[in-house]
Amino acid sequence: MAKKNGDQEVKLTASLEDYLETILQLTRARPVARIKDIARARDVKAGSVSAAMKRLESLGLIRYERNEYIELTVEGARRAQKVLSRHLVLTSFFEEILDMPAGEAEAEACAMEHHLSDAAMDKFVRFFEFLRTCPGAPSNFLELFHGCRRLDGEAECGFHCSDPACIDDAWQKNRTTINALEHGQEGTVMHVGTAPAIRQRLLDMGILPGVKVKMERRAPGGDPVWIRIEGYQLSLRREEAEGVAVEV
């Protein structure tokens, strides 16, 4: 059993978890896996697989015969299934909910599956359960989301959008942009609607939906502007500040 310090579970590296997941998938089709099968599936050298198998064997997660046959122990199968379950949930979320291409969804799931906590996993599953079983869940929720032009950066729903179905005077009433804030005025970020490269830069700087910003000062001529966000001051070009919708 992969335990130490009492009942505390040994933390595996992402690479070892990937190997367990691969073995599980291979042994779903046959009783045991082989070094060459794992190497082919992981696109790595056989020597790298052998070293990883020795480590997994030492943790009691696999039975590794020197003639290259590998099978999961009960604990190894449990750990492998846990990783695979997270992979499947995340792939479904990226592909079905966020409408990402299958290859991209698969890659994102692989990157995140090793770090998803039990609590986060439970929330993802509850979200799917809500959409698929709750009588009160809007039946056209995903259809509306996937059909929104803002999803692909084509429009900014309710702000710069020209689609009549998206224009709502009540929605617009308290909405403005960071650039339009008065000195000392605060607003809550609603969405970031600029060119993709600029948008990514703003997201990386912490300008995210739900974050509060405060206008501190402007340069002569109005460009750039300085805002306060999450306790620190940030300078934005006017173009950037005009592309961020806030609620005041």
Query: What's the pLDDT band for 247 if we cut at 50, 70, 90?
Result: confident
| Whether residue 68 is found in the same domain as residue 122 | yes
Query: What's the pLDDT band for 200 if we cut at 50, 70, 90?
Result: confident
Q: Could you say which of 94, 116, 136 is where a domain stops?
A: 136
| Whether residue 120 is found in the same domain as residue 17 | yes
User: How many domains are contained in the chain?
Assistant: 2
DSSP bridge partners of 232? 229
| Whether residue 132 is found in the same domain as residue 15 | yes
pLDDT digits (tens, 9 = 90+) for 33-64: 999 999 999 999 999 999 999 999 999 999 98
Task: Write the single-letter amino acid at 29.
Answer: A
Sign of the alpha-carbon torsion through 176, 178, 179, 182? positive
Residue-level pLDDT at 160: 46
The owner of tokens 């059993």 is 1
Does residue 147 lie within any of the structural domains? no
Residues near 103 by beta carbon (within 8 Å), at least 6 away in sequence: none
Measured distance CA(87)–CA(21) in Å, rounded: 10
Measured distance CA(179)–CA(81) in Å, rounded: 50
Does residue 148 lie within any of the structural domains? no
pLDDT digits (tens, 9 = 90+) for 116-166: 999 999 999 988 888 877 777 777 777 777 776 555 555 454 444 545 555
**Is the separation of the CB atoms in 229 and 212 below 8 Å?**
yes
Task: Write the single-letter amino acid at 163.
Answer: D
The owner of tokens 């709502």 is 168
User: Which phi and psi (to 5°) does residue 206 adopt?
Assistant: 100, 5
**Structural domain boundaries enclosing 215:** 164-247
| Whether residue 128 is found in the same domain as residue 23 | yes
CATH number at residue 191: 2.30.30.90
